[in-house]
């Protein structure tokens, strides 16, 4: 029976893909994918491939990170103010294995991601007793504790305090190949996360988010599914964390574990609208290139100020985000042009 369903889905895929590309969201997504695919080939100039293209690579890394947070908080309702924990643990573990134990990059990435999953499980279990703002403060406390351990505590000698680990190899020496590795990983990550959100598992996550008591009364093992949400989210945050460490060729506690980074990813995901998943990508690209433009314009001192302003706006429009209404208006224009 299961094989028949899978075969039916495969046979219907071309028809589904054709109809999907005719929708506004499908058309926009396809257009973005085409642009991102041809982007590395638009110029062979060294300054383009070495200095401009890597910003798109960075944006895609943060898109994966933001989507992982949106799955945990937007879809599952488990509020995390310390998501940089998983991001940083994976990056640090990957860096340590490469720099001190001479591990292969691929193996170091896998172990780094596994480390993030284990930590997400370790945090997810005690977090079961916390809800709402208490859960948010609890995850924030975990974030602060880890920073103190790596900067001031017994672990600081292992990880060189605030200096961290430097001199790491790039994900790939060729910026174009590095770009496509991250690009393909981002596509796969988004497909998996979106499919989860639309599946039976996603429905259970949403029911726990909307009414945990009701979900529990209906026979759903809320404890198991809440932990599962933490683990899945930690996995994708870990992937982003290892890529970020290799992208920067270094890791340090404030950069990879920093509280600012935890709030930064919240802004990215919220900017596109919670629960949209794809909105996380919009938010990531918006912030990365906004920062790039300000720095290029010599106005880097206003970056943090602007982020604070955006934070206040996002708090006001947290559920729908800022970019989502814009896309909805564009969709209306699209429908009018097509005579719908």
Instruction: Please report the DSSP string for 251-318 in residue order.
Output: E-HHHHH-HHHHHHHHHHHHHT-TT-SHHHHHHHHHHHHHHHHHHHTT-GGGHHHHHHHHHHHHHHTT
Residue predicted with more confidence, 85 or 1: 85
Half-sphere exposure for 137 (CA within 13 Å, toward CB):
6
pLDDT of 256: 64
Can you give the pTM of this predicted structure?
0.88
Q: How confident is the model at residue 244 (pLDDT cuts 50, 70, 90)?
A: very high
CA 332 centroid distance within chain: 29
Question: What is the percent of the chain where pLDDT is above 90?
Answer: 34
Residue predicted with more confidence, 232 or 6: 232
Query: Which regions of the chain does DSSP assign to beta strands (E)?
Result: 165-166, 250-251
pLDDT (tens digit per residue) in 182-207: 999 999 999 999 999 989 999 999 99
pLDDT (tens digit per residue) in 26-78: 667 788 889 999 999 888 887 788 888 999 999 999 999 999 999 998 899 89
Say if residue 237 is exposed, middle or buried (CB neighbours under 10 Å; 0-12, 13-18, 19+).
buried
State how far the alpha carbon of 130 is from the alpha carbons of 64, 77, 119, 265, in Å.
26, 12, 17, 22
Residue 90 has pLDDT above 60, yes or no: yes
**What is the separation, in whole angstroms, between the first and last Cα of the chain?**
39
pLDDT (tens digit per residue) in 130-188: 887 888 888 888 888 877 776 655 666 665 666 778 889 999 999 999 999 999 999 99
């Amino acid at each position: 029976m299961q094989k028949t369903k899978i075969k039916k889905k495969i046979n219907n895929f071309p028809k589904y893909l054709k109809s999907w590309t005719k929708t506004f969201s499908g058309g926009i997504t396809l257009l973005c994918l085409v642009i991102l695919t041809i982007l590395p080939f638009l110029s062979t100039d060294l300054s383009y491939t070495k200095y401009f293209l890597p910003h798109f690579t960075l944006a895609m890394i943060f898109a994966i990170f933001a989507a992982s947070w949106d799955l945990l908080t937007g879809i599952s309702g488990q509020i995390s103010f310390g998501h940089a924990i998983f991001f940083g643990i994976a990056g640090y573990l990957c860096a340590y294995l490469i720099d001190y134990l001479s591990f292969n990059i691929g193996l170091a990435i896998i172990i780094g991601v596994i480390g993030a999953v284990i930590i997400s499980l370790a945090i997810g279990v005690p977090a079961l007793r916390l809800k709402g703002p208490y859960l948010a403060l609890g995850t924030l406390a975990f974030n602060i504790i880890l920073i103190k351990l790596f900067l001031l505590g017994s672990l600081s000698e292992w990880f060189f305090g605030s200096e961290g680990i430097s001199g790491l190899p790039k994900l790939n020496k060729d910026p174009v190949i590095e770009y496509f590795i991250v690009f393909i990983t981002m596509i796969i990550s988004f497909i998996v996360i979106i499919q989860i959100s639309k599946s039976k598992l996603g429905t259970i996550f949403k029911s726990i988010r909307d009414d945990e008591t009701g979900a529990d009364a209906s026979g759903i093992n809320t404890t198991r599914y809440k932990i599962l949400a933490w683990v899945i989210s930690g996995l994708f945050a870990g992937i982003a964390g290892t890529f970020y460490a290799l992208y920067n060729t270094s890791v340090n506690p404030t950069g990879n574990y920093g509280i600012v980074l935890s709030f930064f990813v919240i802004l990215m995901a919220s900017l596109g609208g919670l629960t949209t998943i794809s909105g996380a990508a919009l938010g990531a690209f918006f912030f990365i290139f906004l920062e790039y433009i300000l720095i290029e314009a010599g106005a880097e001192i206003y970056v943090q100020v602007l982020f604070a302003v955006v934070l206040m706006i996002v708090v006001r429009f947290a559920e729908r985000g800022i970019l989502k209404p814009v896309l909805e208006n564009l969709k209306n224009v699209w429908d009018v042009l097509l005579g719908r």
